[in-house]
Structure 1
């Protein structure tokens, strides 16, 4: 009776060894960094990783923590007093000071939530500027927008879910102005010149790793003239909308 038991235990040990080797190979192959591990703090100097988006979303409601992280970026900004009510209450809106190249949003009055500003900083530094230099040969000096805050439901309907714009956790980007004077417009260039269209698609694709929702002209006619970016909270491992 002992021999079958010994064989049974040997089989279990072999399977455990195989699983252990597979996990080790997977770990070495993936080589997860801080940016890929959900339990490590968000750092603005880390590359964009698998857990970056979730860490940005988790800053929602963590006003002091978010503002401290924003201050560490070197961005000069003003923190707005809380405003709005009920579903349109905003506690953590911030506005970059005029002339800030770390976050060159236009108009200067646009004030996204602090977590949204964190996402935009990473997008601008690790996606927008590198793609602009590589594809268009010039850096971006202004990101034109249709604004961040708007107390309304999705698509302006009278009922249904509230838009992320209602809490300034969204931004609609309409164009990019380059240092050489060129203006890359979502409306005019999405299906235009190859380099301009390629740049717009590249920054859209890069945004998908940072924001819960990234919508472009490829989604529907309502987004023909802008890229919609938002931080909808769909849980730590929640799905993302990227179109």
Structure 2
């Protein structure tokens, strides 16, 4: 009798575990972006693995360009260029600013395709919702300090090359709202007002889309911009968000 009781108890526990697993799987099926094996779709909400999937596009230019086209992102592919050695780019694109999209200023910047894809998702899922929530209007343009630059980290003469050396990064310095109001990282990061709240919200939202996000919270070198990049970090896929 005791053995039968233990067997029934084990079956009940197994049934509960199975039910929880099935419920969890059903919930995840409703959000495919939270699963590591599903295909990336730039039009979907940000999921648990969206950032890793975007970073994984480095080295797969054809797939990245196909995702831009699937999402209706207008772009001009750039020819291979840059310096020699560890400098240079092969998958840079210039976003053309499709109808209703946020413009980049200066407009000629051409980051790598994975960075461009993440920028558009950041715009759709993070920047514009935050602007509407806090200011009741959209962002018209994003100002930046550039993308490609053949240099080592922090401009040193030795050490690792920056992600800028392969156009896998962009430095964001500010935002202009639809009514012309400007919000800058250097001028508005600190404080308790809506401008500071907006900057912190878009920084935090970028952390789920880029491999590295560095802000004024990181060090003085980033007091005037957000550094966003899609560094490849192998199987671990660790991310930096400061």
Q: So what's the TM-score if we normalise by structure 1? A: 0.89
Moved more, 188-197 or 22-31: 22-31
Asked if the contact 1:171–1:230 (Cα under 8 Å) also holds between the matched residues in 2, the reply is: yes
Asked if the contact 2:28–2:34 (Cα under 8 Å) also holds between the matched residues in 1, the reply is: no
Structure 1: which 5+ residue stretches go unaligned? none
**1:150-189 superposed matches below 5 A:** 150-189=149-188
Structure 2 vs 1, CA of residues 106 and 82 (structure 1 numbering), >3 Å: closer, same or farther?
same
**Cα-to-partner distance string for 1:77-110 (whole Å, 9 max, x where unaligned):** 2111001333112101111226764241111111
Distance across 2 between alignment mates of 1:131 and 1:175: 14
Q: Which position in structure 2 is the counterpart of 1:126?
A: 125
Query: Which gives a bigger RCO, structure 1 or 2 (Cα 8 Å, sep 6+)?
Result: 2
Structure 2 vs 1, CA of residues 205 and 149 (structure 1 numbering), >3 Å: closer, same or farther?
same
Distance across 2 between alignment mates of 1:102 and 1:237: 33
Q: 2:66 aligned to 49, 65, 68, which one?
A: 68
Distance across 1 between alignment mates of 2:130 and 2:141: 15
**Cα-to-partner distance string for 1:13-46 (whole Å, 9 max, x where unaligned):** 5664454344345445666611011211111221
Compute the displacement of 1:191 (Å): 1.1
Distance across 2 between alignment mates of 1:158 and 1:7: 73
Residue aligned with 1:86, SS: coil
Residue aligned with 2:73, SS: coil
Q: Which position in structure 2 is the counterpart of 1:138?
A: 137
Distance across 1 between alignment mates of 2:90 and 2:2: 67
Structure 2 vs 1, CA of residues 29 and 44 (structure 1 numbering), >3 Å: closer, same or farther?
closer
Distance across 2 between alignment mates of 1:97 and 1:21: 49
Residue aligned with 2:144, SS: strand
Aligned residue pair count: 241
Asked if the contact 1:54–1:237 (Cα under 8 Å) also holds between the matched residues in 2, the reply is: no
**1:1-243 superposed matches below 5 A:** 16-27=14-25, 33-84=31-82, 85-97=84-96, 101-192=100-191, 194-235=193-234, 237-243=236-242
Distance across 1 between alignment mates of 2:195 and 2:75: 30
Structure 2: which 5+ residue stretches go unaligned? none
Asked if the contact 1:96–1:103 (Cα under 8 Å) also holds between the matched residues in 2, the reply is: no
Asked if the contact 1:48–1:209 (Cα under 8 Å) also holds between the matched residues in 2, the reply is: yes
Residue aligned with 2:194, SS: helix
Distance across 1 between alignment mates of 2:166 and 2:87: 5
Asked if the contact 2:130–2:198 (Cα under 8 Å) also holds between the matched residues in 1, the reply is: yes
